[in-house]
């Protein structure tokens, strides 16, 4: 998990020009780091490439809009990293 978080934090720091040491596992990408939806596309692109996955941004956004999930579940970085690990594992399992 820490490895995934480190990669994600580095991606965010480089993509959005945010000091790496201000990014923690508890950081909320939107509320704490001020990343907007357009900038998040660049982050998603870098994550997709780095991990060989496709972050289901549309599904997540829909779930948040429908009240079925909170932004914290997907955009707090420790949770985002966990979702990435799940997607990587699912891909590895051939799902």
Partner 1 sequence: MQLEYFILIDRILDLNIDEKTIQVEAQVPQHNTIFEGHFPGYPIMPGVLLIESMAQTSGWLLLALMKFERMPFLAAVKEAKMRGFVSPGELLTINANVLHEGSGYAMTEAKVSVGGKLKCNATITFSHIPFPNPDLRRHMDAMAKRVGFPQQAIAHD
List residues binding partner 1 (CB under 8 A): 38, 41-42, 44-45, 48-49, 54-59, 61
Report the residue number, 20 or 54, with the smaller CB distance to partner 1: 54
Report the residue number, 32 or 48, with the smaller CB distance to partner 1: 48
Q: Collect contacts of 80-85 with beta carbons under 8 A, ≥24 apart.
A: 80/8, 80/29, 81/1, 81/4, 81/5, 81/8, 81/25, 82/1, 82/4, 83/55, 84/4, 84/8, 84/47, 84/51, 84/53, 84/55, 85/1, 85/4
Report the residue number, 6 or 48, with the smaller CB distance to partner 1: 48
Among 31, 52, 55, residue whose Cα is nearest residue 43: 55
Report the residue number, 32 or 60, with the smaller CB distance to partner 1: 60
């Amino acid at each position: 998990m820490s490895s995934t978080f480190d990669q994600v934090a580095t991606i965010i720091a480089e993509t959005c020009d945010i000091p790496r040491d201000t990014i923690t596992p508890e950081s909320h990408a939107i509320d704490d780091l001020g990343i907007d939806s357009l900038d998040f596309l660049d982050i998603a692109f870098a994550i997709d490439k780095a991990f060989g996955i496709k972050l289901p941004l549309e599904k997540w956004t829909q779930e948040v809009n429908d009240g079925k999930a909170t932004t914290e579940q997907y955009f707090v970085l420790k949770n985002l990293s966990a979702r990435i690990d799940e997607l990587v594992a699912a891909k590895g399992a051939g799902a």
